Amino acid sequence: MLLCDQYITARSLDEAFDAMEAYRGRHRLIAGATDTYPWAREGRAGDVHIPTLIDIGRIPELNARNASGARVRLGAMTAVQRFLDDDMLARTMPALPRCAVWFADDQIRELATVGGNIVNASPAADVTPCLMAHDGVVELASRQEGKIVRRSVKLDEFITGPGKTGLEDNEILVAVECDVLPGYGGSFEKVGHRRSLVISVVCLATAVKLDPAGRIFEDVRMCIAGTRPVPKRIVEIEDALRGKAVSADLIEHVAGQASDLVQSRTRQEYRRDVTRGFIVRGLMSAVKRAGSSALTPELEAAYA
């Protein structure tokens, strides 16, 4: 059970920092809070008493999102549901709509936030590997001598371990900026222990850009999670595909390099088998959505 003495709703970064300073060491920031209550339930953390909960969900900057040039900026409060109903996000971030479909249920998607998925740093996070495939960079804010100061950190450097990030005690994650990938085909593969509200055992985000003829891999981005302490861009496979002709043989060949991606302490053989299959299926789905018809119907049927 989660107990608190007071609940503060901050409507600006300054109000949030005021509350953080007033209750230093006795507060917890919350946004959608979809992970806060499960974390505090009996059996995981026992009864948890936090003197002050500071809700940052009403801060306008954290709710903004826009695309400009080659980058898209997502406020930390961007809900996962927006990847399904915001045309701009669906157009510029092709793997995220597929990820959102897998993400819990309708009610949780309306509350769960991009920022929360990042700062919780779960090895099984769904949104984070998609953002890494977009070369995500997080923006962090703190207040020093009365002025708000910001710094940026690459997402793959910000997450340092299970439940661990580079976020300082006096900082708030305000946004993440990512590459815009219009014209890419995207896919998201995921498997877990149960049919509904699945927590990933393995998940894989893929984005593929083809040449105008739909026959050459111009760019490939892949990021895997659930198989190691932190999500990982699969740069070896990206490099092996980039500039090569699309073929079933090539896809199956690079998928055979998947064994080293699994560093989990449990179910290693299962995760290796799943990872190999996900690489094949993820690439096939992304290639098809990018406009290619180079793959055989037999291979598509085998990994449907």
Q: What is the pLDDT of residues 274-289, one digit of tens each?
A: 899 999 999 999 999 9
Average per-residue pLDDT for the chain? 89
Of 64-73, 101-110, 127-136, 294-303, the range with the lowest mean pLDDT is 294-303
Q: Kindly indicate the confidence band of residue 31, based on its pLDDT and cuts at 50, 70 and 90.
A: confident
Report the 10 Å Cβ neighbour count for 124.
Answer: 19
10: Cα within 13 Å, side-chain hemisphere: 24
Q: Kindly indicate the confidence band of residue 300, based on its pLDDT and cuts at 50, 70 and 90.
A: low
Distance, in Å, from the CA atom of 234 to the CA atom of 222, rounded to the nearest integer, reads: 6
| CATH number for region 61-120+134-179 | 3.30.465.10
Is the per-residue pLDDT at 156 higher than 80?
A: yes
Q: Kindly indicate the confidence band of residue 79, based on its pLDDT and cuts at 50, 70 and 90.
A: very high
Residues 6+ apart with CB under 8 A from 292: 210, 214, 215, 246
Structure tokens, 151 = 């710094």
Is the per-residue pLDDT at 199 higher than 90?
A: no
Note the pLDDT tens digit of each residue in 162-187. 999 999 999 999 999 999 999 999 99
Higher local confidence (pLDDT), 84 or 291: 84
Q: What is the pTM of this model?
A: 0.90
- Residue 175 has a pLDDT of 98
CATH topology for 185-302? Enolase-like; domain 1 (3.30.390)
Note the pLDDT tens digit of each residue in 206-240. 999 999 999 999 999 999 998 888 999 999 999 99
**Matching fold, domains 2-55 and 61-120+134-179:** no
Query: What are the domain boundaries of the chain?
Result: 2-55, 61-120+134-179, 185-302
CATH topology for 2-55? 3.30.43
